């Protein structure tokens, strides 16, 4: 079958579903290396899903744009004269040239640098040099506007999909996705801090996503951060009080959870009492969120101190301070983009402290993040060796030892020690997305979040 590490056959449904076995936790390593699978991911995962674009505050005025990606499709996210946001494929309909080369800016319209075709902020083709003299007015401009993605926002976070049959964003996010975005806004409305850190890692995007659910690696991968006195890993890991939330279509949250009894105490406090308790609490105490957070995150989600992932590739971290996009750049390459948010009108000292935390923990120079990339690169590398590829990944921690329960608002969650429920949910959803030819098939053939033994 394979030559040069690549299986160039088309994958059929049964083969795709067999790439991960949720009953044993065995993952076929070809999901990290196979070119044909990667091409299928661009179609069935990225073009189909809702992809994070940017935040409202990055494009406040008409004409403001930010360049983002749906998989490897580059898109212009631009606010138009009416205040709406358009997500347009950054490719001229004439010869395919990119209309925007800057990664952000402000434009009145988008003029192609090749032959001067001109597009309005909503993507309509409004100018064609030589329309009369060369084209003899024989061109249907209404059919040659920029290709558009569907764009919707939740709490000011803009997402886009290339699937016309995708569910509405709010439904797509479900309780888990909404908890994740709500975590960012738990202390009030936010604005982005200027500057998106970007770097490229020689790894498959999924191993980076897998890692965000992984609270097992923390004491080992990040041992040096502990030794250097940067943080106290024992105080942040909470290995025995983890809460995993599983959402429809692959969204999940993994990481520490605030014990129910403690949250009950918090829920009984006024916002003033919460603020005072927060100030008095020792470092690394459970987070005391304001009352409004419960509406945004739900009665179970508000107890999460973990890492939400909005399927496929949007990680929300540091209690909602940052998000990290993992953009695919081939089976063995991933770009990481870090967005940072602070409450609107935050006092300067608080803003400084939040930005310092973001700058020092994550990003390519981050004291924690530095050590992750090489693990992911080496894991990806071994998926290319003929024999090492055949070994599979073992994602079996906690399998069969825990119970998923339904919360009062229908949330599905698991309270246990450190485990790999989030990773199994990720890969299981991934196989189902890959096996489905469209949203109709995916809606009909995906595993609902479980209750009972997991």
Residues within the interface to another protein (CB under 8 A): 101-106, 193-202, 221, 223-225, 227-230, 335, 338, 340, 352, 355-356, 358-360, 363-365, 367, 369-371, 373-375, 377
Smallest gap from Cβ 367 to another protein, in A, equals: 6
CB of residue 371 to another protein, shortest distance in Å = 5
111 vs 155 by CB, closer to another protein? 111
Q: For residue 25, which phi and psi values (nearest 5 degrees)?
A: 80, 20
User: Measured from the CB atom, is 113 or 240 closer to another protein?
Assistant: 113
Number of neighbours of residue 91 by Cβ within 10 angstroms: 18
Smallest gap from Cβ 83 to another protein, in A, equals 22
Residue (of 88, 49, 87) closest to 71 by Cα position: 49
Q: To the nearest whole angstrom, how small is the minimum distance from the Cβ of residue 218 to another protein? A: 13
Cα–Cα distance, 369 to 222 (Å, whole number): 8
Residues contacting 365, CB < 8 A, separation 6+: none
DSSP label at residue 32: G
d(CA 63, CA 107) in angstroms, rounded, equals 5
d(CA 125, CA 106): 18
The minimum distance between CB 31 and another protein, in angstroms, equals: 21
**Min separation Cβ 355 and another protein, Å:** 7
CA distances from 298 to 110, 247, 270, 410 (A): 42, 13, 18, 10
Q: Which is nearer to another protein, 360 or 446 (CB)?
A: 360
Contact 40, 145 (CB under 8 A): no
Min separation Cβ 377 and another protein, Å: 6
Q: How far is the CB of 434 from another protein (least distance, A)?
A: 27
Task: State which residue, 200 or 275, has the beta carbon closest to another protein.
Answer: 200
**Looking at beta carbons only, is 294 or 326 nearer to another protein?**
326
Residue 337's SS3 state is strand
Name which of 15 and 284 has its Cβ closer to another protein. 284
CA–CA distance, 317 with 325 (Å, rounded to integer): 11
Rounded to the nearest 5°, which phi and psi values hold at 409? Answer: -100, 20
- Nearest distance from residue 131's CB to another protein, in Å? 26
Alpha helices in 281-363 (DSSP H): 292-301, 348-361
Buried b / exposed e over 380-410, threshold 16 CB at 10 Å, is: bebbbeeeebeebbebbbbbeebebeeeeee
What is Dmax (Cα atoms) for the chain? 77
Q: If phi over 0 gives left and psi between -120 and 50 gives alpha, with beta otherwise, what is residue 287? A: beta
DSSP letter at 172?
H
């Amino acid at each position: 079958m394979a030559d040069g590490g690549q299986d160039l056959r088309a994958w059929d449904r049964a083969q795709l579903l067999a790439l991960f076995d949720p009953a044993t936790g065995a993952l076929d390593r070809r999901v990290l290396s196979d070119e044909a699978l990667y091409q299928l991911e661009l179609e069935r995962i990225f073009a189909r899903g809702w992809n994070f674009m940017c935040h409202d505050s990055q494009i406040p005025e008409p004409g403001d744009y930010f360049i983002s990606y749906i998989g490897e499709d580059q898109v212009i996210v631009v606010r138009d004269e009416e205040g709406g946001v358009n997500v347009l494929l950054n490719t001229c309909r004439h010869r395919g040239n990119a209309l925007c080369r800057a990664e952000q800016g402000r434009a009145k319209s988008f003029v192609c640098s090749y032959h001067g075709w001109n597009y309005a902020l909503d993507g309509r083709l409004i100018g064609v040099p030589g329309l009369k003299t060369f084209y003899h007015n024989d061109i249907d401009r209404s059919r040659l506007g920029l290709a558009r993605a569907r764009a919707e926002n939740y709490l000011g976070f803009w997402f886009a999909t290339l699937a016309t049959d995708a569910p509405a964003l709010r439904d797509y996010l479900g309780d888990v996705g909404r908890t994740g975005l709500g975590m960012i806004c738990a202390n009030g409305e936010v604005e982005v801090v200027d500057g998106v850190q970007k770097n490229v890692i020689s790894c498959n995007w999924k191993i980076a996503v897998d890692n965000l659910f992984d609270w097992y690696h923390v004491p080992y991968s990040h041992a040096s951060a502990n030794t250097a006195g940067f943080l106290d890993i024992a105080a942040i890991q909470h290995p025995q009080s983890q809460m995993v939330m599983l959402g429809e279509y692959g969204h999940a949250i993994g990481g520490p959870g605030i014990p129910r009894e403690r949250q009950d105490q918090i829920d009984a406090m006024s916002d003033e009492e919460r603020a005072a308790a927060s100030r008095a609490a020792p470092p690394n105490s459970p987070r005391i969120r304001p009352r409004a957070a419960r509406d945004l995150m739900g009665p179970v989600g508000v107890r999460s101190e973990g890492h939400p992932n909005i399927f496929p590739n949007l990680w929300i971290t540091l209690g909602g301070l940052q998000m990290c996009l993992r953009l695919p750049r081939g089976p063995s390459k991933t770009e990481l983009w870090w967005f940072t948010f602070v409450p609107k009108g935050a006092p300067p000292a608080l803003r400084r402290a939040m930005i310092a935390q973001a700058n020092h923990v994550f990003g390519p120079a981050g004291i924690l993040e530095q050590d992750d990339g090489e693990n992911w690169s080496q894991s990806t590398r071994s998926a290319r060796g003929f024999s090492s590829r055949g070994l599979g990944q073992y994602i079996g921690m906690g399998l069969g030892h825990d119970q998923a329960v339904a919360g009062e608002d229908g949330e599905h969650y698991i309270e246990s020690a450190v485990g790999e429920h989030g990773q199994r949910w990720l890969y299981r959803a991934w196989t189902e997305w890959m096996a489905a030819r469209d949203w109709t098939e995916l809606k009909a053939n995906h595993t609902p979040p479980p209750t009972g033994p997991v």
